[in-house]
Amino acid sequence: MGSVTEIIQSFSNIRKIGAGADLRPPRDVITILGDSWLGRIYRNHLKKYVYVRRIVLWSWRNGYPLYASHLAPLFLNRKALVWRKVIKLKDFAKRKTVLTYNLVDAATIELQSPKVFPASDESLLLSPNERFVFPEISVVVIKNAVTYGGTNLILAGGEVICHDLYDFSRDYTSEELHGRTLIDPKSNRIRWLLHDNTPEVVPVAATFVDSCAANYAHWMTEVLSRIVLFCEDVRFKRVPIIVNDGLHRNIMESLLLVAGSDREIITLPIGRAIAVGELYFTSAAGYVPFERRVNKLSGHSQGIFSPRALEKLRTQLTQSLPVEDGTVTPEKIFLRRNSNVRKLAGVDELEKLLNSLGYVIVEPEKLTFSQQVKLFHNAKAIVSPTGAGLVSAIFCKPGAQVAVLMSKHKDMIYRYWSNMLSPLGISVGYALGEIIEKDDLGIHGDFKVETQSIVDLLESLGKK
């Protein structure tokens, strides 16, 4: 396999929208504020203070909706005044009786209770349900629709279409945080605050843009999992696909391996729009909310995924690996997390322990996408702090064991990894620890897990 540059160059059908200087995409309010003198003062001098960050975040979450409802329409295009109805894809398809293609039938997924250490924390991983039903995955053809870069919300006929797993009464979206939309969950309406007055026009395309596509975990489980189902269907062989512009080289490599060399790929910057005569919209294959809208509601989603879609992704990408060149990959790996948030305390001592047990330390972000697929596909045991890099465990063979190191917090989505990996035949266990950085980072604070909890977990998984 060549470098990602060589891979991309071998695909001649990538087209970028709005690359010219005269077609700069509209900027959202967060970008405008960040580039202002006030934004620079905040970033350079004030952001380091915990209470300042708390005040700014609270003011934005509570004050911006008031601005968008009452002040923005006075200064912005009158389009900002328009409230649009939000409708779920399945309801839109039923009401309009539009052309719909079924890809995957609905499936009942049995949930497993993962091993948890210390044992006193087992209640944190209990699920209120023993099973869940993942809805069917379909492609709906929407006439005369508009898709924007950086959001999976679709504009059509004065309405905004969303996928069926959204629950706006509970889910706070990235689009709202960045000031691109304003959602009123009580009335099920939305104001679209970012307008492209000169959208590109194409006759036919499938959209896979998403507000969280730049995150590797969201991309794999919520975007690429849909793309692989769409692209394998011969009925859509000639349909171009639209994705976010500016994606990481590893994400682009994964896209090109799934889409194939004959597929036209259109990259769309945030703020730019494409008006499509026939827009193919694939329903959700996985979803975890960006944030909670209100913390007082219980029973928030900890992630729901289609095992069929992830299995298809695993099969296609592992089969695309180059012929073995004699390189041996380790069977037991520890993922070193190089990040400024959710850092694991005492990691040096842990790495020494794991080395003595035969684990090899790896840094996934230093590998190409194909190298990561091969590494995880051959691994039989993985230890890792929670983080996006662990999502490559979807490429593990059934029977592999994954030990997740995670902090305890009231807002933590503990079952994210077990909901994703267990239905794929992968054993998942948790070693939980305490947050040691007490500030507004919440679930992203640094944490420490007792060594004995990790040892107990590894012994438990080894006995399975």
pLDDT for the residue 259:
92
pLDDT for the residue 48:
60
Q: How confident is the model at residue 128 (pLDDT cuts 50, 70, 90)?
A: confident
Looking at the chain, the whole-number percentage of residues with pLDDT higher than 90 is 55
Query: Using CA atoms, how far apart are residues 199 and 25, in angstroms rounded to an integer?
Result: 10
Neighbours of 130 (CB within 10 A): 9
Pairing relation of β-strands 137-148 and 100-104?
A: antiparallel
Whether the Cβ atoms of residue 92 and residue 98 lie closer than 8 Å to each other: yes
Mean pLDDT value across residues 277-292: 94
Phi, psi of 158 (to 5 degrees): 80, 0
pLDDT for the residue 21:
37
pLDDT for the residue 365:
87
Q: Is the model's pLDDT at 300 over the cut of 50? A: yes
Beta bridge partners of 333: 360, 382
Query: Using CA atoms, how far apart are residues 195 and 79, in angstroms rounded to an integer?
Result: 8
Q: Is the model's pLDDT at 42 over the cut of 90? A: no
> What does the DSSP 8-state code read for residue 18?
T
Tell me, rounded to whole angstroms, the distance of Cα 345 from its chain centroid: 26
Q: How confident is the model at residue 97 (pLDDT cuts 50, 70, 90)?
A: confident
> What does the DSSP 8-state code read for residue 211?
T
pLDDT for the residue 261:
81
Sign of CA dihedral 75, 78, 84, 89: negative
Beta bridge partners of 139: 101, 282
pLDDT for the residue 447:
83
Mean pLDDT value across residues 187-215: 93
Whether the Cβ atoms of residue 209 and residue 150 lie closer than 8 Å to each other: yes
pLDDT for the residue 397:
96
Angle, helices 307-319 vs 225-232, to 10°: value is: 70
Question: Which of 46-50, 245-249, 271-275, 347-351 shows the lowest per-residue confidence on average (mean pLDDT)?
Answer: 46-50
Average pLDDT, the chain: 85
DSSP string, 182-194: EEETTTTEEEE--
pLDDT for the residue 8:
53
Q: How confident is the model at residue 1 (pLDDT cuts 50, 70, 90)?
A: very low
Sequence-ordered alpha helix ranges (H) in 320-439: 347-356, 369-378, 416-421
Q: Tell which residue, 379, 342, 345, 353, has the closest CA to residue 364.
A: 379
Q: Is the model's pLDDT at 72 over the cut of 90? A: no
Q: Is the model's pLDDT at 9 over the cut of 60? A: no
Q: What is the pLDDT of residues 107-124, one digit of tens each?
A: 998 888 899 999 999 988
Phi, psi of 140 (to 5 degrees): -110, 130
Q: What is the pLDDT of residues 385-408, one digit of tens each?
A: 998 899 999 999 999 999 999 998
Q: What is the pLDDT of residues 307-349, one digit of tens each?
A: 999 999 999 999 877 666 556 689 999 998 877 667 788 888 9
Q: Is the model's pLDDT at 46 over the cut of 90? A: no
Q: Is the model's pLDDT at 286 over the cut of 90? A: yes
Q: What is the pLDDT of residues 422-459, one digit of tens each?
A: 999 999 999 999 888 655 666 777 889 899 999 999 99
